[in-house]
């Protein structure tokens, strides 16, 4: 911010984090107000250290020469007639090398850097650069002087972690531009590495030449993919491959498409945090972005402490080397919590446009929706169900629709990347009928419902197979047939049928006891319990059982299929229970053994012996 910023408006009203401003009329007229424009409020009272605070805010609504803006920090001390500075920019993020391994708040302020400069308690009105402007990166050009480039085209690359971080032409370019000069070497993100000039026979020829560096800025509420598609530089693809999470229940029963959407709703204590942690660690993706948009501070601190120490199963390095964390806890300002999810999605789209596979996990969207509800209430908008804004449904859809497959149209260097979005929902009391959950379910294509009953019974993951579903099965069928056999879908449907009928028998037993059901029904119940305990459940703390490749999942499915069709010649329910108990223990030990080693083969032999 300039030392002498130009004052263009004044504060006329303050209500919590909602501030009403009014344009100042000067001899040159008044500065126009723009929706979603970023402004800075300058409290007349200086900070305790004598520093002038600049409180970032975003204009939400305009009425004549007045506007309502949400402030991203505490408005304590802000009063009527305080000065306002307009930036003429939308709320944007910095995109460039150095994002990976960083922890940001919802406005892309690097929390580690804030902590180093200001200590444990972060001061108000501080706005730091998201990228390290002093670090040098070795830029390797991919084009030369005289080449024609368009929006999103690759200009060069720098090495970031284990990736080639592509430096792309600005996403807002219109038409073709010619490179007038380009240089190779080590540069900071602030230095210019090339210049582009407009092609003379195009409409944009009236524009001035542009200097390009290693970074660019992009508004978080405008999808990068949509901008490239509008400029005929990219097209959306159709997801045809699953996101392999190595969690048996998800990969086999309720698959998520790579570039698709999913939600994990469940009550508190049902295991959402552990589940999303394992999905982010073992999923078949390049980049992981965790957006903690409203979780309790303790859970966020646990995530920040664990990720740098967890081993990346792909590279052997730390998981943080390919992870970005955006955290705005429930104790942070409401407005920043609402913006955090858009910040995370924009960073995900940036890496997606490079041709990388990105996984974004939002935890939890319930708190994000509550932030919208608080802001809507202060704006005195007409409320919808349970006081959520009437536009809740469209807001949730606009977030999830930014996931997908994006393929660039450059024939020589076309690339295809994916952005998969998984949102966790925390409905009060586990009520899936509340508005946020229902709006999410109508948007996503995979629903992994967590059950408090299964969580209390120490089942992990506590995903209820009787209420969960995936709409990706038809479009992923060809992939599964090629990788898991032509009978994959019939086998899964048969197991689901056993689980459903077994639950019905379990309900009957709770009323009539074991004596009140037939032997066949009892065997069916034991089969369902067997499938549940050795396939649906997984040990998150075992080095072998925590991550199960698809090959091993398929082998276990074949074994279960043999057991389920085995005709158990027995009429004594006690003997039947003992047989299934022994078999369950053997298969559990099998799951803890490395595939095809001596112990694994011995357990297979024992199982075959039991079925003779």
273 annotated binding-site participant:
yes
101 within 8 A of 320, measured Cβ to Cβ? yes
Q: What is the CATH number of the domain that holds 500?
A: 1.10.1140.10
Same domain, 275 and 325: yes
Q: In which domain, by residue range, is 180 found?
A: 137-214
Map tokens 């199960």 to a residue: 548
Q: Is 266 annotated as a binding residue?
A: yes
> Which pLDDT belongs to residue 217?
96
272 is in an annotated binding site: yes
Residue 390, phi then psi, degrees to nearest 5: -65, -20
Q: Read off the pLDDT of each residue in 376-381 and give the average, rounded to a whole number.
A: 90
Q: Is the model's pLDDT at 201 over the cut of 90?
A: no
Edge-first strand order for the sheet with 163-168 is 163-168, 154-160, 137-141, 185-187
Question: Token digits for 532?
Answer: 């549940």
Q: Provide the number of structural domains found in the chain.
A: 4
Last residue of a domain, which of 433, 468, 503?
A: 468
Residue 270, marked binder: yes
Q: Is the pLDDT of residue 357 over 70?
A: yes
- Tell me: do 534 and 505 sit in the same domain: yes
Task: Tell me the residue length of the chain.
Answer: 612
Number of H helices, E strands in the chain: 16, 26
Give yes or no: residues 403 and 522 share one domain.
no
Residue 427 half-sphere exposure toward CB, CA atoms < 13 A: 22
Are residues 563 and 432 located together in one domain of the fold?
no
- What's 294's DSSP letter? S
pLDDT band, very low/low/confident/very high, at 304 (cuts 50, 70, 90) = confident
- Per residue in 255-276, pLDDT (tens digit) is 999 999 999 998 888 888 889 8
Binned at pLDDT 50, 70 and 90, residue 114 comes out as confident
Q: Is residue 226 part of a domain?
A: no
Q: What is the pLDDT of residue 279?
A: 94
72-81 pLDDT, tens digit each: 988 888 999 9
Q: What is the pLDDT of residue 346?
A: 97
- Same domain (yes/no): 111, 67: no
Average pLDDT in the chain: 90
- Percentage above 90 pLDDT, the chain: 69
Spatial distance between the Cα atoms of 139 and 29, rounded to a whole number of angstroms:
45
User: What is residue 202's predicted lDDT score, i.e. its pLDDT?
Assistant: 53
Task: State whether residue 146 is helix, strand or coil.
Answer: coil
Mark whether 282 and 324 lie in a shared domain.
yes
**223 inside domain:** no
Nearest to 561 by CA among 594, 535, 581, 579: 535
Q: How far apart are CA 246 and CA 240, in angstroms?
A: 18
Whether 227 is in a domain gets the answer no
Task: State residue 151's pLDDT score.
Answer: 93
Q: What's the average model confidence in pLDDT over 106-126?
A: 85
Task: With respect to residue 71, please indicate whether it lies within any of the assigned structural domains.
Answer: yes
Task: Give me the pLDDT at residue 298, please.
Answer: 64
Tokens for 346? 């924009």
**Same-domain status, 42 and 76:** yes
322: in domain: yes
Q: Does residue 271 have a known ligand-binding role? A: yes
CA 590 – CA 188 distance, rounded (Å): 53
Span 220-235, average pLDDT: 94
- Rounded-to-integer distance, Cα 284 and Cα 42, Å: 47
Furthest-apart CA pair in the chain: how many Å? Answer: 98
**311 pLDDT band (50/70/90 cuts)?**
confident
Give the sign of the dihedral formed by CA 57, CA 58, CA 61, CA 63: positive
Contact 293, 104 (CB under 8 A): no
The answer, yes or no, to whether residue 206 has pLDDT greater than 70, is: no
Is 267 annotated in a binding site? The answer is yes
Q: Name the more confident of 111 and 602.
A: 602
Residue 228 lies in a domain: no
Residues 491-495, mean pLDDT to the nearest whole number: 93
- Integer CA distances (angstroms), 189 to 153, 330, 356, in order: 18, 33, 21
* Cβ–Cβ under 8 Å, residues 293 and 328: yes
Last residue of a domain, which of 421, 440, 468?
468
Same-domain status, 120 and 165: no
By three-state DSSP, how is residue 150 classified?
A: coil
The span from the CA of 378 to the CA of 70, in Å, is 10
Element (H, E) at 331: none
Residue 250 and residue 391 in one domain: yes
Q: Does some domain include residue 291?
A: yes
Helix (H, G, I), strand (E, B) or coil at 304: helix
Residue at 154 is within a domain: yes
Last residue of a domain, one of 443, 468, 493: 468
Per-residue pLDDT of 153-188, as tens digits, reads 999 999 998 899 999 999 999 889 999 999 999 999
Looking at residues 302-325, what average pLDDT do you find?
A: 84
Supply the pTM of this predicted model: 0.94
CATH number reported for the structural domain that contains residue 79 in this entry = 2.40.10.170
How far is Cα 562 from Cα 203, in angstroms, rounded to an integer? 69
Residues 6+ away with beta carbon under 8 Å from 129: 94, 110
Say whether pLDDT at 295 is over 70. no
Q: Is 493 left (phi over 0), alpha (psi -120 to 50) or beta?
A: alpha
Rg (CA), the chain: 28
Q: What is the pLDDT of residue 125?
A: 84
Q: Could you tell me which residues come within 8 angstroms of residue 54 by beta carbon, excluding any fewer than 6 positions away?
A: 1, 40, 41, 42, 85, 125, 127
pLDDT in tens, 521-535: 999 999 999 999 999
**259 assigned binding-site residue:** no
Assess whether 86 and 101 both reside in one domain: no
| Crossing angle (nearest 10°) for helices 519-531 and 550-565 | 170
Find the mean pLDDT for residues 306-321.
84
pLDDT-based confidence at residue 85 (cuts at 50, 70, 90): very high
| pLDDT reported for residue 301 | 74
Beta bridge partners of 425: 265
What integer pLDDT is reported at residue 95 of this predicted model?
97
**Same structural domain, 261 and 190:** no
Question: Is 296 found in the same domain as 274?
Answer: yes
Where is pLDDT greater, at 145 or 51?
145
Beta-sheet strands, E only, within 389-479: 404-408, 416-425, 446-447, 469-470
Distance of CA 480 to the CA centre of its chain: 25
SS (H, E, C) 78-133: CCCCCEEEEEEEECEEEECCCCCCCEECCCCCEHHHHHHHHCCCCCCCCCCCCCCC
Q: Once rounded to an integer, what is the mean pLDDT over residues 118-131?
A: 84
């Amino acid at each position: 911010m300039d030392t002498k910023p130009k004052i263009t408006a004044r504060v006329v009203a303050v209500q919590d984090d909602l501030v009403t401003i009014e344009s100042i009329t000067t001899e040159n007229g008044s500065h126009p107000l723009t929706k979603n424009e970023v402004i800075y409020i300058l409290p007349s009272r200086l900070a305790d250290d004598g520093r002038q605070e600049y409180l970032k805010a975003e204009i939400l609504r305009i009425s004549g020469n007045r506007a309502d803006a949400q402030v991203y920090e505490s408005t304590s001390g802000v009063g009527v007639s305080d000065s306002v500075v307009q930036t003429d920019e939308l709320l944007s993020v910095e995109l460039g090398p150095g994002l990976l391994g960083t922890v940001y708040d919802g406005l892309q302020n690097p929390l580690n850097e804030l902590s180093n400069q200001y200590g444990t308690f972060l001061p108000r009105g501080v706005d730091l650069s998201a990228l390290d402007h002093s670090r040098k990166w070795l830029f390797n050009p991919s084009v030369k002087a005289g080449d024609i480039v368009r929006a999103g085209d690759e200009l060069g690359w720098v090495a970031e972690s284990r990736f080639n971080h592509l430096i792309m032409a600005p996403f807002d370019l219109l038409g073709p531009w010619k490179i007038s000069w380009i240089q190779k070497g080590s540069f900071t993100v602030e230095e210019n590495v090339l210049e582009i000039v407009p092609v003379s026979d195009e409409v944009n020829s009236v524009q001035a030449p542009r200097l390009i560096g290693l970074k660019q800025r992009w508004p978080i509420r405008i999808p990068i993919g949509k901008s490239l598609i509008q400029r005929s530089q990219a097209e959306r693809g159709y997801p045809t491959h699953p996101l392999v999470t190595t969690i048996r229940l998800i990969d086999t029963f309720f698959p998520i498409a790579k570039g698709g959407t999913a939600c994990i709703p469940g009550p508190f204590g049902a295991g959402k945090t552990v589940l999303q942690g394992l999905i982010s660690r073992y999923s078949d993706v390049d980049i992981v972005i965790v957006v903690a948009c409203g979780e309790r501070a303790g859970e966020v601190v646990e995530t920040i402490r664990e990720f740098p120490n967890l081993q990346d199963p792909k590279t052997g390095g730390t998981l943080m080397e390919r992870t970005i964390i955006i955290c705005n806890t429930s104790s942070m300002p409401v407005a920043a919590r609402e913006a955090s999810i858009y910040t995370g999605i924009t960073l995900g789209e940036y890496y997606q446009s490079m041709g990388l596979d990105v996984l974004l996990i939002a935890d939890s969207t319930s708190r994000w929706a509550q932030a919208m509800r608080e802001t809507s209430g202060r704006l005195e908008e007409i409320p919808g169900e349970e006081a959520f804004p009437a536009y809740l449904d469209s807001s949730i859809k606009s977030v999830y629709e930014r996931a997908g497959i994006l393929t660039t149209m450059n024939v020589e260097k076309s690339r295809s990347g994916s952005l998969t979005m998984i949102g966790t929902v925390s409905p009060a009391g586990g009520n899936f009928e509340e508005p946020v959950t229902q709006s999410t379910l109508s948007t996503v294509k995979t629903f992994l419902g967590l059950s408090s009953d299964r969580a209390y019974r120490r089942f992990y993951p506590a995903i209820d197979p009787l209420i969960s579903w995936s709409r990706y099965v038809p479009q992923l069928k060809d992939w599964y047939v090629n990788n898991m056999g032509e009978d994959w879908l019939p086998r899964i449907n048969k197991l689901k049928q056993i689980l459903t009928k077994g639950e019905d028998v379990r309900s009957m037993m709770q009323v009539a006891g074991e004596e009140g059901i037939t032997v066949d029904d009892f065997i069916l119940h034991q089969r369902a319990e067997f499938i549940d305990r050795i396939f649906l459940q997984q040990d998150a703390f075992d080095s072998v059982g925590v991550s199960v490749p698809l090959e091993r999942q398929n082998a276990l499915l074949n074994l279960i299929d043999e057991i389920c069709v085995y005709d158990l010649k027995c009429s004594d329910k006690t003997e039947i229970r003992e047989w299934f108990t022994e078999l369950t223990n053997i298969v559990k030990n099998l799951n803890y053994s490395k595939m095809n080693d001596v112990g694994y083969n011995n357990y297979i032999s024992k199982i075959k012996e039991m079925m003779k």
